[in-house]
Amino acid sequence: MKTTTKATAFYNVFERKGGPHKETTHYCPGCGHGNVHKMIAEAMDDLGINDKTVFVSPVGCSVFGYYYFDCGNFQAAHGRAPAVATGIKRANPDSVVISYQGDGDLAAIGTAETLHAANRGENITVFFVNNAIYGMTGGQMAPTTLIEQKTATTPRGRVESEHGNPIKMAEIISTLPAATYVERVAIGNSKHIMKARKAIRKALKNQVENRGYSFVEILSVCPTGWKMDSPDARDWLTDQMIEAFPLGVYKDESSEREDGWYRDVKPFVPAELNKYFGVNAEADVAPVDLKKDLFCKFAGFGGQGILTMGLFLAQIGMRADHNVSWIPAYGPEMRGGTANCSVNVSNKRIGTPLVERPNVMVAMNLPSLEMFEKDVVDGGVILVDSGIVDKTPDTDRLDVVMIPATEIADEVGTPKVANVVMLGAMIAATDAYSLDFVSETLKVVVKKKNLIDMNLAALQRGYDFVKNGS
């Protein structure tokens, strides 16, 4: 196709195109892409959006859209243009993003991206050039190939029972509530082309006015793929394709959606981030001595607050300016009726966060005691909820504390604070931190502020049980 008068949205000379002929397109004679490109370029001119337009070329014959359009250009992977367009539009909601796709790209390999971009109501414009065949790869069946149509991969013609039916994308997309405007047009004759021009312009204008997702399916021709000359191809489009793919407006809520689909984003402002994350805030650290490193395994039933107990201890250690780590049971340890976590509190850099040989163990059910007692180092502290576990660990080898933590918690107000009773007992049994320090820290780390008093009472009771036996 020799181009004589061109829209300014086209380059004058197609420098990106290789070879000697930089004023003609790469399309075959009679191809429909030239018509569609021209209508888009003219609409861009009319709307004055050349600078802010970003044209996404897919894989297929229109892979080289960037040869021609004098605007920002992206080349995308096969079928992914709507996802790429989403990433572009969300990064700059003031850009005008065109996803220009063929039938294989949009309705086969990229069906998911197509439907979900529409379903999110991305404020983009999708031009779907449906020519019922794969052109670039050599005339294979497309998702929109007609019944009985012969292609390189349907040599006996498309058969419903074997290949399914031509897929009707405009109809499908029009069922999605977030889509604003869906129309199917054609380029079979000049009447078609007039309607197509109008639809293309409207679909772009909608985006400029932030009215949301617009989808224009354009029934086009592929004389090469169809093995026809150009006039026959136009006739076949008009006679056969339109019967399978009726033209018309399938959905139009454009007038109701002015500026409704502008998704604002803010640029990166370091000071705002620093404020948000409290980078310059005074750290709540009150360094105290740690007499002995704690390698803890806390275990019990799910729901007993075992993991939270570990989190409390780790945060106490952090506030005391010690090195800490917390990790929940993960992998093979998750089996066997025990929810558990490993906590390290150390003066030194912590190596493995997994506590293999604890020197402090809390067992709040029998399976936990049976699973982990043997791992506790000689002379280690083991605390057992004696109201739940009917077994005493090896008192010769270990420093054993039997404490009815859940019963005490009940007396305090709820069995849910049994973990904090246990924490108080653990603090007392190990002398790791003072009760005052732990109480002060709990006031900070307990998230529900109305539960602080009950937690402090539970902590005190556990502590007293070990220190005073009551």
Map the footprint of other proteins across residues 206-245, applying CB under 8 A.
none
CB 58 within 8 A of CB 76: yes
Q: Which CB atom, from 196 or from 309, has the smaller least distance to other proteins?
A: 309
| 297 scored as a contact of other proteins (CB under 8 A) | no
Q: Which CB atom, from 97 or from 219, has the smaller least distance to other proteins?
A: 97
| Binding residues for other proteins restricted to 340-359, rule: CB under 8 A | 349-354, 356
Residue 250 amino acid letter: Y
| Among 423, 442, 429, 436, residue whose Cα is nearest residue 316 | 442
Alpha carbon distance 109, 60 (integer Å): 12
Q: Which CB atom, from 191 or from 263, has the smaller least distance to other proteins?
A: 263
Indicate the burial class of 4 (C-beta count within 10 angstroms; 0-12, 13-18, 19 or more): exposed
Q: Which helix H or strand E contains 160, and what residues bound it?
A: helix 160-163
CB of 65 to other proteins, least distance (A): 10
| Binding residues for other proteins restricted to 7-36, rule: CB under 8 A | 16, 18
Site for other proteins (CB under 8 A): which residue of 264, 289, 390, 396? 264
Site for other proteins (CB under 8 A): which residue of 20, 287, 332, 469? 332
| Binding residues for other proteins restricted to 448-467, rule: CB under 8 A | none
- The alpha helices in 2-120, defined as continuous H runs, are 33-47, 65-68, 81-91, 103-104, 111-119
Q: Which CB atom, from 162 or from 281, has the smaller least distance to other proteins?
A: 281
| Binding residues for other proteins restricted to 106-135, rule: CB under 8 A | 112-113, 115-116, 120
Give 285's contacts (C-beta < 8 A, 6+ positions apart).
Answer: 319, 320, 321
CB of 69 to other proteins, least distance (A): 10
Residue 423 amino acid letter: L
Q: Which two tokens stand for residue 217?
A: 């399916």
Stretch that binds other proteins, among 29-37, 264-272, 387-395, 410-418 (CB under 8 A): 264-272
| 311 scored as a contact of other proteins (CB under 8 A) | yes
Q: Which two tokens stand for residue 302?
A: 């799910």
Site for other proteins (CB under 8 A): which residue of 256, 272, 378, 411? 272
| Binding residues for other proteins restricted to 33-92, rule: CB under 8 A | 50-54, 56, 63, 66, 70-77, 80, 83-92
For 282-339, give the DSSP string. PP-------SS-EEEEEEE-TTS-HHHHHHHHHHHHHHTT-EEEEEE--GGGG-SS-E
Q: Which CB atom, from 312 or from 465, has the smaller least distance to other proteins?
A: 312
